[in-house]
Amino acid sequence: MPNDASIKIDGKEYPYPVMIGSEGEKAIDVRNLRKDSGHIFYDQGYGNTGSCESQVTFLDGDNGILRHRGYPIDQLAKHSDYIETAYLVIYGELPTEAQRKKFGDLLRENAHIEPQMQRLFEGYPKNTPPMVVLASLVASLAGYYPDLATNNFEKDLQQFDLSAAMAISKIRTLGAMVYRHGRGLPFMHPKALPFCDNFLHLMFSEPYHDYVAIPEVTSALNLILLMHADHEQNCSTSTVRMVGSSGANLFTSLAAGIGALSGPLHGGANTAVMNMLQSIHDENDDGTRFIEAAKGGSKSNRLMGFGHAVYRNFDPRARVIGEACSVVLKKLGKSDPLLDIAQNLEQAALKDDYFVSRKLYPNVDFYSGIIFRALGIPTNMFTVMFAIGRAPGWIANWKEVASNPKGRIYRPRQVYTGPVKRDYVPMARRG
Ligand code: ACO
């Protein structure tokens, strides 16, 4: 690595190597800066910090590019399915037929939730937020499968194929159980069905009536899960890596990622989009009045589903999901006034100088909620759907941390701005 960057502090220059990623991304390797100079970099929210090297996903926000293991997201959307893409994200290559079959078998064999573990649901009130229940149940997997969750990377990695498949399959099953628990419905047992059909069965079958698969619904679900499979070092993925870096097992690390995803600034945005579209509809607006209000600069009036912390161009996932949305509704013979409003908003915003000059384009959440709604999935389950889709990305990133022989615990520094040293004051002399 050439020493071709230097940092000048108090007149003294410190040389540092420049790293170049496989897609030409440049970074200055400042790992020794504090040791050399006594300074750290201040980068609140890590927006300009590369926390790791990763081979999973490449994202170029300026040009609207997203690739998993080199494969463009639009090609995966067109030719692959969620499970194949999950395999690709986790293992780095598209599976052969035999690998795909083995992976599918492992997913099917590990879809169930132990009867004893099912009883944990009884402790949660029905109105508990779905992500709260999901996070705690996923953390509990470490207790039910202690051989796979030893907090010893070497041992955990020996069983990685099983624990990865188990995590993907059980997060899906738990997601459906969270839905049924919230409605007071009996849990359904998984069947020997393809992954997405099994999810729909677990959600919508009744003891007296099997859910009948609708191919258009299955393929829409497949597409939307695939679209969420990974997205570089976002908040929840970085959380999984950080927790994993302490040596924590896969299930515990995933539970932490689910907690991070539950926040409205991360996984909750598609819910906010639906609430916005519904209120525009309730106010008999076609979107025109709302667009004007959204340009006022107030955070509470933002056009939800527009703009992105990283993309300064079309989110490539939004393009695919936006197109799929109209197709799915048409195939299902459904119309949704909220889709008309969303399309009006998109057209208006893409022509409006306020949004164009700020490079605000639709993001993945702008249309995903409308598809979920068409599939019969209620708004409070949207973030759970995101978690089911994102599991492969979290798992792949945990594996990178666990299998890195040179890895070290993630431990950022801070700039302390609290009180300087002072002496303890006894209670009688306070106030
Ligand atoms: N509607 C109206 N104006 C907006 C919007 C929006 N959705 N997003 C940004 N702006 C404006 C800001 O007011 C600011 O204007 P100014 O320059 O006049 O002050 C300018 O655009 C830049 O905004 P920032 O806040 O700097 O953009 P940032 O990149 O930090 O924020 C974010 C990105 C949080 C996603 C923002 O665009 C937003 O709030 N969007 C709506 C919420 C949303 O859809 N979130 C989902 C993101 S995708 C995901 O997490 C999976």
- Coil vs helix vs strand at 81: coil
Q: Does domain 269-379 have CATH number 1.20.120.80?
A: no
Determine the distance separating the centroid of ligand 1 and the alpha carbon of 414, expressed in angstroms: 26
Q: How many CB atoms lie within 10 A of CB 228?
A: 22
Query: CA 252, CA 46: separation in Å to the nearest integer?
Result: 23
β-partners of residue 8 are: 13
Report helix, strand or coil for 421. coil
Question: Taking a C-beta distance cutoff of 8 angstroms, is the pair 59, 66 a contact?
Answer: yes
- Of the residues 68, 201, 228, 308, which is catalytic? 308
User: Is 308 noted as a catalytic residue in this protein?
Assistant: yes
Instruction: Tell me if residue 79 is catalytic.
Output: no
Distance from Cα 307 to the centre of ligand 1, integer Å: 5
Beta carbon of 69 within 6 Å of any ligand 1 atom: no
Residue partners of 378: CB distance under 8 A and separation at least 6: 179
Q: How many CA atoms lie within 13 A of 375 on its CB side?
A: 35
Provide DSSP, 109-138: HT----HHHHGGGGGS-TTS-HHHHHHHHH
| Paired sense of beta strands 26-28 and 18-20, if any | antiparallel
Q: Ligand 1 in contact with 45 (CB < 6 A)?
A: no
Domain 73-261+380-403: CATH superfamily is Citrate Synthase, domain 1 (1.10.580.10)
Instruction: Give CA–CA dist 216/195, Å, rounded.
Output: 15
Tell me which architecture the domain covering 4-50 has in CATH: Single Sheet (2.20)
Cβ(166)–Cβ(82) under 8 Å? Answer: no
**269-379 and 4-50 share a CATH fold:** no
Q: What three-state secondary structure class fits 6?
A: strand
Considering all CA atoms of the chain, what is the largest pairwise distance in Å, rounded to the nearest integer?
79
**Domain range annotation of the chain:** 4-50, 73-261+380-403, 269-379
Is the CB of 248 within 6 Å of ligand 1? no
pLDDT tens sequence for the chain (431 residues) = 555 899 999 999 999 999 999 999 999 999 999 999 999 999 999 999 999 999 999 999 999 999 999 999 999 999 999 999 999 999 999 999 999 999 999 999 999 999 999 999 999 999 999 999 999 999 999 999 999 999 999 999 999 999 999 999 999 999 999 999 999 999 999 999 999 999 999 999 999 999 999 898 999 999 999 999 999 999 999 999 999 999 999 999 999 999 999 998 889 888 889 999 999 999 988 888 899 999 988 888 899 999 988 888 888 999 899 888 888 888 888 888 988 898 899 999 999 999 999 999 998 888 899 899 889 999 999 999 999 999 999 999 999 999 999 999 999 999 999 999 999 999 999 98
Beta strands at 57-60 and 18-20: parallel, antiparallel or unpaired: unpaired
- Is 315 a pocket residue for ligand 1 (Cβ < 6 Å)? no
**Which pTM was predicted?**
0.93
pLDDT at 67: 98
What is the gyration radius of the CA atoms in the chain, in angstroms? 23
Output the pLDDT for position 2.
55
Residue in the structure block whose two tokens are 């599991």: 391
88: which 2 tokens? 């690709």
Q: Where are the beta strands (DSSP E) in 39-132?
A: 57-60, 65-68, 71-72
